[in-house]
Amino acid sequence: MTPDQYCQDKAAKSGSSFYYSFLFLPPPQRQAITALYAFCREVDDVVDECSDPSLAATKLEWWRGELARLFDGNPTHPVSQALQTSIKQFNLPQEHFLEIIDGMAMDLEQFSYDSFKELSLYCYRVASVVGLMAAEIFGYQNRQTLKYAHNLGMAFQLTNILRDVAEDAARGRVYIPRDEQQRFGVSQDDILNHQVTDKARKLMAFQAARARGYYQKAFDLLPEEDRYRQRSGIIMAAIYQATLDEIEKDDYRVLDQRISLTPLRKLWIAWRTARREKHRYRTWQRH
């Protein structure tokens, strides 16, 4: 199995919305974004699948060393080998990869967050930084596109937090800020014990509204001249926003179940969004 095949396999098996958004990219960009996604999966799996925090920390430290080897031109892991051409071709800095690892390391030390300001650093590291690198891979003319990418990453992570709240609680992690729990009359134990109440649903509705606000902010910042290049992010946003719609339809019962879209529906949304963006781009070109 080649390094690229390893990354492709990692992306396809995850069933992630990211995978469906990659399908409409030219081969060099698809290879680069798939390798970047595979890297994120590798370091995320270290934290999620390793029950011993000290062993997980050691593995993350290994990945920091592997990044040094990658940027020195001597990678040993298939994912790093697949990233070798991308880091030069698409200007992907080592600091961003290290920032992602720092975000994953937070999961080994911090199981809850006192405020949204505190949570924002985590979201920036594990999602916005990925968005910034994705924007480099997709290409842009206007630097404002990087602000769009930052906010879109925040929106994605906030959607993930809401969708996965029950799964995270089963691991003893709560990403809903404590001060907001208190404001809505929900305790940390209510979340950890999957207690679905009216107060909990209102708390989750508040989280969904914040995520939607970040999608709006992101698209308000996206310059029209870069929109078509950034279509993979737009496709992903369409899939994620459809997930938010389903959560809303289910009255925010995320504490006792995980809402997800079928692969067929994700593919349909991806195809429909790609088609719409192509039409929009052609119309913009004519004007």
The DSSP secondary structure of 76-93, one letter per residue, reads -SHHHHHHHHHHHHTT--
Residue 281 class from Cβ within 10 Å (0-12 exposed, 13-18 middle, 19+ buried)? Answer: middle
Given a contact cutoff of 8 angstroms between Cβ atoms, the answer to whether 212 and 234 are in contact is: no
Rounded Cα gap, residues 131 and 92, in angstroms: 11
Rounded Cα gap, residues 77 and 82, in angstroms: 9
Rounded Cα gap, residues 186 and 174, in angstroms: 12
* Predicted local distance difference test score (pLDDT) of residue 84: 94
Residue ranges of the chain whose pLDDT lies below 70 = 14-15
* Predicted local distance difference test score (pLDDT) of residue 23: 79
* Predicted local distance difference test score (pLDDT) of residue 277: 92
* Predicted local distance difference test score (pLDDT) of residue 52: 85
* Predicted local distance difference test score (pLDDT) of residue 91: 87
Taking alpha carbons only, the member of 133, 104, 130, 116 closest to residue 211 is 116
Can you tell me whether residue 260 is helix, strand or coil?
A: coil
Structural domains of the chain sorted by starting position, each given as residue range(s) with its CATH number in brackets: 1-109 (1.10.600.10), 111-287 (1.10.600.10)
Rounded Cα gap, residues 22 and 3, in angstroms: 17
* Predicted local distance difference test score (pLDDT) of residue 285: 87
Rounded Cα gap, residues 277 and 105, in angstroms: 37
* Predicted local distance difference test score (pLDDT) of residue 48: 84
* Predicted local distance difference test score (pLDDT) of residue 189: 94
The DSSP secondary structure of 111-154, one letter per residue, reads S--SSHHHHHHHHIIIIIHHHHHHHHHH--SSTHHHHHHHHHHH
